A and B are shown apart, each in its own frame.
Chain A
């Protein structure tokens, strides 16, 4: 490949020198034999590759731009327009060369992503450490990774800890700390530390490989506008060829007909949409936003309503103790009792209590952080209500308010507090003994910190309705909708209800995007005009179903994705508008005879280059501002 490139470069350099010589000779000596010889030499040097390509294509009955240029150049030589022939061939091959270089730029972000693929894996087999290619790694292999190296598999850490840069997966380049039992992804880099990872997924099954596959597929998924343009140019080129033949037959003006031929290929027009799209998708991929194709870009930019799933999307999806009150005992003692009572429970609320107890009391309990709290001496589950347990010679109760109703515990005096907490969308867990309530813990899911800002950003981007669809109860939904300032919510929905609600929203408000995370959201993601999955490194189903995947858990990226899609569509429209303008101007210019052969070629090539350069600008989108860029 490099040899081909050098020789192409040399050909163009030689043609350039010859073209310059022709020009100087023409201006100083005029059309002397020597001038004509140099001009013909230019044409031969620059034109031979074009002529060869044209022949190759003609064998399959395809008339491409090479054939048109060849005919035009042959015609020019026949009628004695040697300078035109030299200039046209040189401009065409030089333009072609520049285009190939700049167009590679538009694809550079995606190429950079491909280059992140791991190249080797060091695995322990039979007591030996051997180096193999990542495709040869097997599920269950123990993989050793050292600082600066790429993790070659998706796996679980069995030994060691370190800081991992997950930019390849999430677009976030701030390293995260990872230790034993935590998951790491193929393609991510260990910045410091040393890990032994058990391979869970290898080769094409890794998250990174699947992301790559999706990005590669995405860049060639055409936008609607693009499909239309391709149809248009399929008629345009033959129409202009027919027009040139007709013109020649009527006017017998060969020069005019040849000029028309040269401008017949709407290069800038055909290239205008795909270059913008590949640059836009590349930019997104670099920032952890996967947009699956040109049509999705167009749709995303025109979204009117954004509907969010609640748990795991607007919230972290992990309940936590938000506040606690203790009566007659210390807060620490309350937490300790609660943790002992809930130790056997698998309920998410119980886990929240245990996490909180571990975080706050880990050392106070005399046990290192992360170890289980002390066990109760006796424990009995009261179904649907809570747990009765014994510790330190006393019997305690832990659970919802039902557990204490009708007992001598005197729950009545806490009624006002309980109601207040419930209005905030929190679940109250009470701890008590026979004599009374010892304390109340309020538990709620944590709203993602970037969610509030996102809602405001979406508004400023002109989204008409920001809504929430959730399977959770109305109270919890109302509390979060209120906290985030949403336009509304739909609560207690089953997955199929979400599909129905989305259908209604689409009818009333127009284009609706659904943002979700989990498997249960897949039907909704599929049925919305646009499905947006959060945290692609999490759920495979959501990632496959969605049209847009935000690779990291940072939902703030949504406003970035929206801004990027609009910038991409705008860029595409600029390109198309410009290309159409050039095509029409050239056609008119040729017909009124102000545009000659070489000038037509110059404008044609320059317009193609400009379109590509405009698309390259998209690669810089979002570099400075992290907030959404306002519509120009």
Chain B
């Protein structure tokens, strides 16, 4: 289990937060996730064997939010 933080481009509508959170909740391998509105960040705890960090990033990008960095 690892926890990563992704920095997104500025998220400005609360429904974006709901969208990303909903997507992560339905993604297999994601244990816990939180989208921070003001700092435009996403905390994700996930099972490395089931899911890669790259996959998470591409899923977020597919929703229309550019991932600027990860930590």
Q: Interface residues, chain A, CB within 8 Å of chain B?
A: 1, 4, 52-53, 56-57, 60-62, 64-66, 96, 99-100, 103-104, 107, 110, 216, 219-220, 233, 265, 267, 270-271, 274, 277-278
Query: In the assembled complex, which residues on chain B have CB atoms less than 8 Å from the CB atom of A57?
Result: 19, 22-23, 63
Most-contacted residue by chain A among B14, B26, B38 (CB, 10 A) = B38
- Is B18 a contact of A220 with CB atoms below 8 Å? no
A303 to B22, CA, bound (A): 38
Query: In the assembled complex, which residues on chain B have CB atoms less than 8 Å from the CB atom of A265?
Result: 15
A60 to B22, CA, bound (A): 7
A64 to B63, CA, bound (A): 12
Task: Give 5 pairs: A residue, B residue, CB < 8 Å, sorted on A.
Answer: A60-B22, A107-B10, A219-B39, A267-B14, A274-B14
- Is A1 a contact of B9 with CB atoms below 8 Å? yes
**Which one, B38, B62, B66, contacts A56 given CB within 8 A?**
B62
Query: In the assembled complex, which residues on chain B have CB atoms less than 8 Å from the CB atom of A65?
Result: 13, 15
- Is A220 a contact of B19 with CB atoms below 8 Å? no
- Is A60 a contact of B23 with CB atoms below 8 Å? yes
Query: In the assembled complex, which residues on chain B have CB atoms less than 8 Å from the CB atom of A274?
Result: 14, 37-38
- Is A277 a contact of B38 with CB atoms below 8 Å? yes
**Which one, B10, B39, B63, contacts A104 given CB within 8 A?**
B10
With A220-B36, A220-B37, A274-B37 as known contacts, state yes or no: A60 contacts B26, CB within 8 Å: yes
Query: In the assembled complex, which residues on chain A have CB atoms less than 8 Å from the CB atom of B64?
Result: 52-53, 56
- Is A4 a contact of B14 with CB atoms below 8 Å? no
- Asked if B12 is at the interface of the complex by the 8 Å CB criterion, the answer is yes
- Is B9 a contact of A220 with CB atoms below 8 Å? no
Query: In the assembled complex, which residues on chain B have CB atoms less than 8 Å from the CB atom of A216?
Result: 39, 41
- Is B66 a contact of A62 with CB atoms below 8 Å? no
- Is A61 a contact of B15 with CB atoms below 8 Å? no
A60 to B33, CA, bound (A): 15
Nearest chain B residue, comparing its CB with the CB of A4: B66
A270 to B12, CA, bound (A): 11
With A60-B23, A64-B19 as known contacts, state yes or no: A100 contacts B66, CB within 8 Å: no
Query: In the assembled complex, which residues on chain B have CB atoms less than 8 Å from the CB atom of A99?
Result: 12-13
- Is A220 a contact of B15 with CB atoms below 8 Å? no
With A60-B22, A61-B22 as known contacts, state yes or no: A220 contacts B39, CB within 8 Å: yes
Query: In the assembled complex, which residues on chain B have CB atoms less than 8 Å from the CB atom of A277?
Result: 38
A278 to B14, CA, bound (A): 14
A52 to B62, CA, bound (A): 10
Query: In the assembled complex, which residues on chain B have CB atoms less than 8 Å from the CB atom of A53?
Result: 63-64
Nearest chain B residue, comparing its CB with the CB of A100: B12
- Is A107 a contact of B62 with CB atoms below 8 Å? no
Residues of B3-48 contacting chain A, CB below 8 A: 9-10, 12-16, 18-19, 22-23, 26, 36-39, 41
With A220-B36, A278-B38 as known contacts, state yes or no: A1 contacts B66, CB within 8 Å: yes
Query: In the assembled complex, which residues on chain B have CB atoms less than 8 Å from the CB atom of A219?
Result: 36, 38-39
Query: In the assembled complex, which residues on chain B have CB atoms less than 8 Å from the CB atom of A278?
Result: 38
Nearest chain A residue, comparing its CB with the CB of B66: A1
With A62-B19, A64-B18 as known contacts, state yes or no: A267 contacts B10, CB within 8 Å: no
Nearest chain A residue, comparing its CB with the CB of B17: A270
A4 to B67, CA, bound (A): 13
Query: In the assembled complex, which residues on chain A have CB atoms less than 8 Å from the CB atom of B19?
Result: 56-57, 60, 62, 64
With A4-B66, A56-B64, A220-B38 as known contacts, state yes or no: A62 contacts B10, CB within 8 Å: no
Within the complex, what minimum Cβ distance (angstroms) separates B59 from chain A?
Answer: 9
Within the complex, what minimum Cβ distance (angstroms) separates B12 from chain A?
Answer: 4
A142 to B29, CA, bound (A): 46
Within the complex, what minimum Cβ distance (angstroms) separates B17 from chain A?
Answer: 9
